[in-house]
Amino acid sequence: MILKSKDADRSQSIRAKAGTQQEKDVAFYLCRAFKDDKQVFVLNDYKFTFNGETAQIDHLIVYPFGFVLVESKSIKGEVKVNSALEWTRSYGNKWTGMPSPIQQVELQKKLLKELLSDNCEQILEKKLGVQGRFGGRCWDVFCAISSDAIIDRESMPLSITGQLVKSEFLVDSIIKKMNIKSSLMKIIKFADTRPAFSTNELSSINDFLLSQIKSHSSHDIESPEDVVEVPQSKQSTQNNNQVIKINCKHCGESERFVYKSGRYGYFKQCGNCEKNTPLSIACIHCSSKKTKVSKRQDSYTLICTDCDNTTMVM
């Protein structure tokens, strides 16, 4: 069953678009395989935050015995991994190093496990008075690369070769790893000693994961859809200059804020829900989205690059 589809593509560069297409290809294979499966749940492009860290998992699979995390990589040439687990890829006639996708998804797995473990009491049931945990479950990772890539498996460590697959073979690898037996096989064979989530626990896990999905913060703003629109009722005047008071776009908090700056400019971190609200909003004079915020001492000014009007924001 597909719980979350891939988010809309906001990328502009050719490389970013190639990566997005690879994620779409993998999402297609997963949808075709598991869309009607009542034991396998897929979340594509899953983003969450825990303990001040944010992780984005390309594809997360939840099933009765645990979790599978998949990192998608658009690799069109050849890929090699040496005995030190260092990755290289070819592009044309040139070889370059690249970050390990397996290490990347392992870090995502670690943060996800911490998030779930920290909330196990509200997610998992108690059995015979013992609280269920996530640590003893199956936690597996894969890296899915383009189907037209070339994989040098002769010199690749065995620990990697089973985790690196082409997109077209990913589903087969996941099914083999999950090893979910049919009802008949469960009756005939009793060798599987893996602890399994109950139906209620699976539902609780999925509900919890969906509740953790974060809306785009100021660090992620790339389209006008994420711009905060401030109603006229939120505007006031001070010293004959217009001042816009921006409330938290998540919970509506109006007083408790900490002003911060990030990759995409200045924003307010809410003291109530701890989520971010950007100060760069649409121009109140011409409604243009082409605005930026400048800071002078403790004052913030919204500057419209289309009509050149300036407005104080707080």
Share of the chain above pLDDT 70, in %: 84
Could you tell me the two tokens for 145?
A: 């690369």
pLDDT class for 70, splitting at 50, 70, 90?
A: very high
The answer to whether 267 touches 275, Cβ cutoff 8 Å, is no
Question: Does the pLDDT of residue 44 top 80, yes or no?
Answer: yes
Strand pairing partners for 304? 291
Highest mean pLDDT among 5-9, 98-102, 236-240: 98-102
Nearest to 136 by CA among 197, 179, 208, 181: 197
Share of the chain above pLDDT 90, in %: 46
Give me the mean pLDDT over the 64-90 stretch: 93
d(CA 170, CA 174): 6
pLDDT class for 128, splitting at 50, 70, 90?
A: confident
According to the model, what pLDDT value does residue 255 have? 80
pLDDT tens-digit series, residues 253-289: 778 888 887 766 788 888 888 888 888 888 877 777 7
According to the model, what pLDDT value does residue 249 have? 83
Give me the mean pLDDT over the 153-180 stretch: 94
pLDDT tens-digit series, residues 136-163: 899 999 999 998 899 999 989 998 999 9
d(CA 312, CA 201): 50
According to the model, what pLDDT value does residue 60 have? 98
pLDDT tens-digit series, residues 213-225: 864 433 343 333 3
Rounded to 5, what percent of the chain is helix, strand, coil? 25, 30, 40
Report the chain's C-alpha Rg in angstroms: 24
Average pLDDT, the chain: 83
pLDDT tens-digit series, residues 186-230: 545 557 788 999 999 999 999 999 998 864 433 343 333 333 334
Question: Does the pLDDT of residue 168 top 60, yes or no?
Answer: yes
d(CA 291, CA 312): 12
The answer to whether 75 touches 114, Cβ cutoff 8 Å, is no
